[in-house]
Amino acid sequence: MDAEAIVKELRGTYGSGKTKSYEWRVSQLKALLKIAENHEKEITDALYSDLSKPELEAFIHEVSMMKTACKLALKELKRWMKPEKVKASLTSFPSSAEIVPEPLGVVLVISAWNYPFLLSLDPVIGAIAAGNAVVLKPSEIAPATSSVLAKLLGQYMDVSAIRVVEGAVPETTALLEQKWDKIFYTGNGKVGRIVLAAAAKHLTPVVLELGGKSPVVVDSNIDYKIAVRRIIAGKWGCNNGQACISPDYIITTKESVPKLLDAMKQELEKFYGKDPLKSGDLSRIVNANHFQRLSKLLDDNKVVDKVVHGGQRDENNLKISPTILLDVPEDSLIMKEEIFGPLLPIITVNKVEDSIQFIKAREKPLAAYLFTSNKKLEEEFVMNISAGGLLINDTTLQVALSTLPFGGVGESGMGSCHGKFSFDTFSHKKAVLRRSFAGDVPARYPPYTAGKARFLKALLNGDIIGLIRALIGW
Amino acid sequence: MNVVEEDVLGELTTAFRSRRTRSVEWRKAQLQAILKLLDENEEEIFEALKQDLGKHPVESYRDEVGVVRKSATNALRCVEKWMAPQKAPIPLVLFPARGAVVSEPLGVVLIFVSWNFPISLALDPVIGAISAGNTIVLKPSELAPKCSSVLANTIPRYLDPEAIKVVEGGHDVSEQLLQLKWDKIFFTGSPRVGRLIMSAAAKHLTPVTLELGGKCPTILDTLSNFSDLQVAVKRIVGGKWGPCNGQACIGIDYVLVETKFAPVLIELLEKSIKTFYGENLKTLANLARIVNKHHFDRVHNLLKDPKVAASVVYGGSVDEENMAIEPTILLNPPLDADIMNEEIFGPLLPIITLKNIEESIQFINSRPKPLAIYAFTKNDSLKEKILQETSSGSLTFNDAMIQFLCDTLPFGGVGQSGYGRYHGKFSFDTFSHEKAVLHRSFLVELESRYPPWNDFKMEFVRLAYNYDYLGIILLLLGLRGLIRTNRRR
């Protein structure tokens, strides 16, 4: 079926008002939860086939996160849907005012290949919770997961309102030509620009969840072992670095380097063994294209002699071992683009405070991490660094919190999701003002006089005394 | 010109990087300066609005100066509260930790103003941008040249000239501004230009707020109480011709009414129009004028369609020389005529009759989503139906326009009427990035987060995700497996 026909059908369903009911939303959220519960193995198998993602990682980062999001939405939905009463001003007295969330209509979710299950369904949960009809376009670069999603959603969901469209560039292009009420895109800035430009034609609002070079600043006054474990978990433990919030590079002082490196090597070996290419606890590189891209970063003349750990590659199995590079030049390829893989450069600065300047001189990342026990540095970091999210003394955990908005700023994207933020992203907040026929103020209407002018001034300024004076004609 | 603007952006970036616009003192000082600017230049502003649009000073105060004063005063009172980080609750699994949402300025923002409310639509968003701590370029509309020059002359004298700049000019200037990389673009105007703004912003991934318009319908139920009807009619007349003579994005575009009720409505509308504005086209008072020849012709052309002309039941006279159009009421103009498919943005008011007032919902839903819907009714079930089944930027019962003054309500469109919202705290949010900040300590370390993976870790994580703390304790004590095996037996 072509894109146009699907949108037309979904518009029909949306127009019927079906998706707006609380019951429909709950039934669809429950169906999503069932998919995760009944087909966990099928899903983690697909993730293994697409990315060799270790089962536990697939479970924690994809299935579980999705289930948590679903359960939260089910639990909170009534509260989220409730109109919010707000104070009406004196100017419009007597009246009552409220903000009523309503669905936007028919929305498009374009998902990414690195967390192909979670990044597909997490936005779909928000869209359903808000009462929209949804088309999901999973990434063709994770074909097994894409086809599992298409199959299971077709089987469990109300297909008159929720559809999966599989495909690559031509299919996506056809989808982008349609008129949507919202587009939610996860991916890179290049495609993000294409999505925005396509949306402009129809005045469609867009959420862009992009990435960027997320830095980790490591101070010297810390427990290196814990810090390093948390960095490793966020870097190689997140799809082998192929995650938008993964640490991209480390900034630290020269004197910290030896201790940091030692701890890194030690813990890496504990986690992934002596031959990490053989470890079952690391994802592989998604495909040959990305393997080539990462190889190019490593083979760049400016960095070939900078590898201090790892560097092994197995092209046949698309594996690259956890690799650390020290003191790479700022103009090397690896420092110019988002790495999105198992390579971790370390940049050294004279004073740890200099790292703030280093980060600020670059595009705003999706995340920035700092390990320190210095409260002042922490404060300065929070005030000075602009990023989607900041996390002090850990990595990547900020995404697990539904009370924090997840989303970028500048080059790392726009709009936010998770928890209530997802619901809001897919809702229009309608301003509703209720007036009675009483309390009509003649000063609003012409013919205009000086007295009316004075009255209006007092009214708009909320000046009650002035109001009374104007009324009794002083 | 190009060089000048590159400099503008450079200077504003420097000012932003100096971090002074982030302090609460700077923000408050700028807001106070706006109030002072209004106080000391009120007459000049009234005069400019009179020349650009023929607005009466009372109208100018009500829709422009007063609105901005109210916003600035509100922002002054609230800005500190808005700036305070919002604590975010943390699940026990992550203990010990502390989470907060910190609002930070986006950077250098660009604000495009439209010509119909050239003062309030300029300064109202500026108040939001200042409150959020941004540096600003304000591009007033060249179609309201006097107001544009008042803004260009006064703003640098009252506000921080290195952080807030006015750039005057026409299309060429706008196009050049759009080439540059901004951290936010706030645009008030038409969907056509809105699309251009979005396409330009796409190149730099710049987030955009579009405040557009649309055909805002008014549903008038058959009101049995005559005094209610009188109030309703006054409010409709006030909502149509009051704000800039119909040239307002939330102005009433057309009225939906039951067939039997139309004659009464028309009679009362006529009466109100005569009392408010007078009868003779030459001596009309208290009405803004059509902004320029282009718009005069546009509105005039809507009337020229013979079928439309035949539907005029009141007014309809036009004075080409003075670019004046009488307040005009039309009864059932053809639905396929331009007047029912374009935003009118002028003093013409079509009345569309329906057999049953409930059909108005279908009528509205078959058209693009408007910026505002107004409904006059005492019927609660009709109110509920309209609320649930239509979509619009805002919905006001039993009044018109006044939702604009409510700082606690978001102002903004949906669908063809735009996206993003402002006013009060919403303005602050529009110009802020909500940064998620999570603080952890080195104290508690859960082994189960780390590979090598095994069954114990799998079980632990499952429990953690279910926030099953008892289960976690049992698992750690080695009792959980035992209990499970027992159960299986």
Report how far residue B219's alpha carbon sits from residue B235's, in angstroms, rounded to the nearest whole number.
13
Assigned domain for A469 exists: no
Q: Say if residue A170 is in the same domain as residue A299.
A: no
Which of A57, A62, A209, A267 is labelled catalytic?
A: A209
Nearest Cα residue to A208 out of B454, B266, B12, B204 = B204
pLDDT at A88: 76
Tell whether ipTM is more than 0.95. no
For chain A, give the mean pLDDT: 93
With CB atoms and an 8 Å threshold, state whether A447 touches B465: no
Q: Which two tokens mark B173? A: 């200037």
Report how far residue B270's alpha carbon sits from residue B236's, in angstroms, rounded to the nearest whole number.
12
Q: Say if residue A193 is in the same domain as residue A220.
A: no
Q: Say if residue A182 is in the same domain as residue A293.
A: no
Q: Say if residue A357 is in the same domain as residue A257.
A: yes
* Any A CB within 8 A of B274 CB: no
Band of pLDDT at residue B485, cut at 50, 70 and 90: very low
Report how far residue A444's alpha carbon sits from residue B235's, in angstroms, rounded to the nearest whole number.
9
Report how far residue B282's alpha carbon sits from residue B288's, in angstroms, rounded to the nearest whole number.
14
- Report whether B182 contacts B110 (CB < 8 A): yes
Band of pLDDT at residue A89, cut at 50, 70 and 90: low
Q: Say if residue A180 is in the same domain as residue A226.
A: no
| Helix or strand (DSSP H, E) at B14 | helix B2-17
pLDDT at A91: 61
Residue A21's domain comprises 3-210+416-429
Q: Say if residue A174 is in the same domain as residue A259.
A: no
Residue B332 CA neighbour count, 13 Å, CB half? 8
DSSP A269-298: HHHH-S-GGG-TTS---SSHHHHHHHHHHH
Q: Say if residue A283 is in the same domain as residue A224.
A: yes
Report how far residue B100's alpha carbon sits from residue B286's, in angstroms, rounded to the nearest whole number.
51
Interface probe with B: pick from A63, A412, A433, A461, most Cβ of B within 10 Å: A433
Has residue B483 got a pLDDT over 60?
A: no
Helices (H), A98-179: 118-129, 143-156, 169-177
With CB atoms and an 8 Å threshold, state whether B402 touches A433: yes
Has residue A92 got a pLDDT over 80?
A: no
Band of pLDDT at residue B487, cut at 50, 70 and 90: very low
pLDDT, mean of residues B362-386: 96
User: Among the three residues A349, A371, A405, which one is the final residue of a domain in this structure?
Assistant: A405
Q: Say if residue A175 is in the same domain as residue A219.
A: no
Q: Say if residue A138 is in the same domain as residue A247.
A: no
For chain B, give the mean pLDDT: 92
With CB atoms and an 8 Å threshold, state whether B453 touches A54: yes
Q: What are phi and psi of B15, to 5 degrees?
A: -60, -40
Q: What beta strand segments (E) does B391-444 contain?
A: 394-397, 418-419, 432-440
For the domain made up of B217-411, the CATH class stated in words is alpha beta
* CATH code (residue A368): 3.40.309.10
Q: Where are the domains of chain B?
A: 2-212+423-435, 217-411, 446-488
pLDDT, mean of residues B265-274: 95
- Report whether A347 contacts A364 (CB < 8 A): no
Has residue A1 got a pLDDT over 90?
A: no
Q: What are phi and psi of A66, to 5 degrees?
A: -65, -40
Prediction pTM value: 0.94
Chain B partners of A456 at a C-beta cutoff of 8 Å?
58, 61-62, 66
Go through B352-378 and write b for each residue having 16 or more CB atoms within 10 A of its CB, e for each that does not.
bbbeebbebbebbeeebbbbbbbbbbe
User: How many domains, in total, are found in chain A?
Assistant: 2
Q: How far is B35 from chain A (nearest CA, A)?
A: 12
Assigned domain for A121 exists: yes
Assigned domain for A471 exists: no
Q: Say if residue A376 is in the same domain as residue A422.
A: no
The tokens 């009234």 sit on which residue? B46
Helices (H), A385-474: 419-425, 450-460, 464-471
List pLDDT tens digits, range B74-109.
Answer: 999 999 999 999 998 877 666 678 899 999 999 999
Has residue B405 got a pLDDT over 70?
A: yes
Assigned domain for A411 exists: no
Band of pLDDT at residue B1, cut at 50, 70 and 90: very low
Q: pLDDT exceeding 70 applies to what percent of chain A?
A: 96
Q: Say if residue A258 is in the same domain as residue A205.
A: no
Nearest CA in chain A to B223: A437
The conformation of residue A63, written as its DSSP 8-state character, comes to I
Burial (CB < 10 A; 0-12, 13-18, 19+), residue A269, is middle
With CB atoms and an 8 Å threshold, state whether A196 touches B205: yes
Band of pLDDT at residue B218, cut at 50, 70 and 90: very high
* Any A CB within 8 A of B276 CB: yes
Band of pLDDT at residue B2, cut at 50, 70 and 90: very low
Q: Does domain B2-212+423-435 have CATH number 3.40.605.10?
A: yes
Has residue B4 got a pLDDT over 60?
A: no
Q: Say if residue A287 is in the same domain as residue A424.
A: no
Q: Is residue A209 among the annotated active site residues? A: yes
Assigned domain for A90 exists: yes
Nearest to B442 among A15, A192, A222 (CB): A222
Nearest to A432 among B58, B99, B395 (CB): B395
pLDDT, mean of residues A62-83: 96
The tokens 């990342």 sit on which residue? A365
